[in-house]
Structure 1
Amino acid sequence: MTLRHLAQQSRRDASLRMPTGLRHHMTANALVFVLDGSFLVGLKVLAHSMIQHRTLLDLPVIVLSNDSTLADDPFVKEFADRFVHVTPSAVSRFDGISHELVRESLRLDWIPKYTFLKWLIFDDWGVDQLIWIDADVLCTGNVDHLTELRHHELYAAEVFQPTMHTTQEGEVLPAEQCDENILRHANGDAPLGASLNSGVMVINKPLLDRQFQAELIRAAKEEPFENEQQVVRAVLERRGARGWLSPFDNFHHSYVMRLSDAARDLVLPRIRLLHFIGPKGKPWQRRPQVHATKELWWAAHDDAIRSSDLYDDPST
């Protein structure tokens, strides 16, 4: 299945029919997602927003989850070419990873943090490239260019740092300085050794191999880490195999809200993937009264619901 197939099952838009002769070329790369049931509504809205922007429409889709019931969800059935149930045996590979630095609210009894399961995507899926997008991301622009990133083994964007809006002592910076810092980050090149956000990744061979997955797990067992992306960064730095995505391909939504109205008007039209980072404040957890970025998410959500009952969300 593909986003194009999903679109045909909902709106049945003739303009989204597969061009003649294209399908046999669509085996070099794929979209991949790892989630549990609590993020299914996020994945539905992400998929619909990608359809809205006519992007990555013909990539096959792989979905991994420790929740086997997702395989029976009508949306997942139409969307995923492959559904992989993450079994206790697969999870056991993560035994021995410390949760010492993982925030207590995010720790789990069976794994230090759910996002460590993201490393299961580092495997041989029969493609040359995987594109990973977290399910708490909204597509707000075309990202077809991601498929052209082939020079490095992995591409990801830099983390938005708190020092863009607060001092080391925790004092809020003046609005003009905050604007300047965020705009400089958005428009600049990432410095060497910068941090990495794994919410959007382009992964090329040879990282599509279980040996790299084992290397990540081994590194995580050697010393404690706060989250999985710190391990990925550390291992990639040893390999020298990393490329950078533009911040507009993984833009932290709360930093949009920290901008002045004038600066926000400059930034929002350029964002292609808007990331609702953090354990709290996911858009689907409650409908905001006034919140520009979450209103964008809810607009996509409501449009999806109108387009097809595949997107129905009983929790809202």
Structure 2
Amino acid sequence: MTLRNYADHYGVEVDPKIRSEDVTIAFAFDAGYLPLFQVAAYSLAQSKNFLDSEVVIYTDDPVVADDPMVKITADRISMLEGERRERLYGLAENSIHREDRAQWNKGTFLKWMMFEEQNNPTAVFLDVDMIFLRSFDEKLLQAATADFNAAPQFMYRLLKDEAGEHLPLSRKWEVMNAALAADYSGRLATNVNSGLMVIREPMLSRAFFDEITAFASQSRRTNEQSHFTAYFKKHPERLKMISYAFNHQDEYIGALRDWEAMKELMEKISVIHYAGKPKPWHRRLSDVPRPTSSLWHWHATASGADVRPLMGVPAVS
């Protein structure tokens, strides 16, 4: 299938150049995220990334496997079942502090299904709550030289002073530019955000699935990705923290609190990750406060995704 097939079917004009054939692109989600997947897939194709890479979709939801767009895009659809299902559901219920979010945790642990033998030596996992601003696939793969590569989970306190007040814009730029240069220290040096991961072959195995799930079962942590952070504190040689440009969270773009500065930052990054709140798909376009939200709505409209149910508006059949 591939993203090129998606582009051809949905009328997205794409570059004829073949890119990254020896890479698997992985997504993991349930039916509630199908509209977001359509927006992400459109954005990925429109920005000419991974056009001819194998696409694998991991899910525990048969509705996803039967979706026509998924069938057009995916080379392989993998359903969570059997012993792997029991193990990941167990982690969702028992290895996260907030038991009340067990159902949400099940969705986040779906991405751990990618730790299996793949058809390619490299796999790139992407969350579906993302849009892609420009071609970045070759730069990403060149930067990702370790077994496990990811950008950090950023922290809002880095943009504030000791009293909790926002730093001057010039100081915020110093912090942002260091993150874009992958110049990390302290907690950011191993603080993994699992929304974008580049995984190399030693970890694309059932052996690593067994290793990481056994490790996570030994403790309770804040969320799924915090188990990666803990693991790599013990195995730092297997981790590389890459530029924040490859997984820049929307809320930290908004933290610049200056429209022109936000636009300037968006010229320097490749991926916007809509982690945190508010979500642009929970707001009408007329209510969005910053350019990143408007940009997501533009991609949603261009992709033809029906995002009305996400905004609490019933879909019209």
2:46 to 32, 52, 59: 52
Q: What secondary structure sits across from 1:8 in the alignment?
A: helix
Partner letter of residue 203 of structure 1?
I
Change (3 A) 1:101 1:94: closer
1:217 aligns with 2:213: yes
Q: What secondary structure sits across from 2:216 in the alignment?
A: helix
Distance 1:105 1:167 in 2: 33
Give the TM-score taking structure 2 as reference length: 0.85
Give the TM-score taking structure 1 as reference length: 0.86
Partner letter of residue 8 of structure 1?
D
Q: CA RMSD in A?
A: 2.5
Are the equivalent residues in 2 in contact too, given 1:200–1:250 (CA < 8 A)? Answer: yes
Query: Equivalent pairs: percent with the same residue?
Result: 28
Q: How many residues align?
A: 302
Per the alignment, residue 3 of structure 2 pairs with: 3
Following superposition, the deviation at residue 175 of structure 1 comes to: 4.4
Distance 1:168 1:114 in 2: 36
Per the alignment, residue 297 of structure 2 pairs with: 298
Unaligned runs of 5+ in 2: none
1:124 aligns with 2:117: yes
Are the equivalent residues in 1 in contact too, given 2:182–2:242 (CA < 8 A)? Answer: no
Q: Which moved more, 1:161-170 or 1:248-257?
A: 161-170
Per the alignment, residue 202 of structure 1 pairs with: 198
Distance 1:314 1:48 in 2: 18
- Counting only pairs closer than 5 Å after superposition, residues 275-314 of structure 1 correspond to structure 2 as 275-278=273-276, 280-288=277-285, 289=287, 290-305=289-304, 311-313=305-307
Distance 2:165 2:87 in 1: 42
1:138 to 116, 131, 147: 131
Distance 2:25 2:90 in 1: 29
Are the equivalent residues in 2 in contact too, given 1:64–1:85 (CA < 8 A)? Answer: yes
Q: What secondary structure sits across from 1:141 in the alignment?
A: coil
- Counting only pairs closer than 5 Å after superposition, residues 119-268 of structure 1 correspond to structure 2 as 119-145=112-138, 146-149=140-143, 151-167=145-161, 170-191=164-185, 193-239=189-235, 240-259=237-256, 260-268=258-266
Are the equivalent residues in 2 in contact too, given 1:33–1:64 (CA < 8 A)? Answer: yes
Following superposition, the deviation at residue 151 of structure 1 comes to: 2.9
Q: What secondary structure sits across from 1:33 in the alignment?
A: strand
Q: What secondary structure sits across from 2:183 in the alignment?
A: coil
Per the alignment, residue 274 of structure 1 pairs with: 272
Distance 1:7 1:157 in 2: 28
Structure 1 or 2: more helix by fraction: 2
Distance 2:182 2:220 in 1: 31
Following superposition, the deviation at residue 150 of structure 1 comes to: 5.6
Unaligned runs of 5+ in 1: 306-310
Distance 2:199 2:74 in 1: 19
The answer to which structure, 1 or 2, has the higher relative contact order (CA under 8 A, 6+ apart) is 1
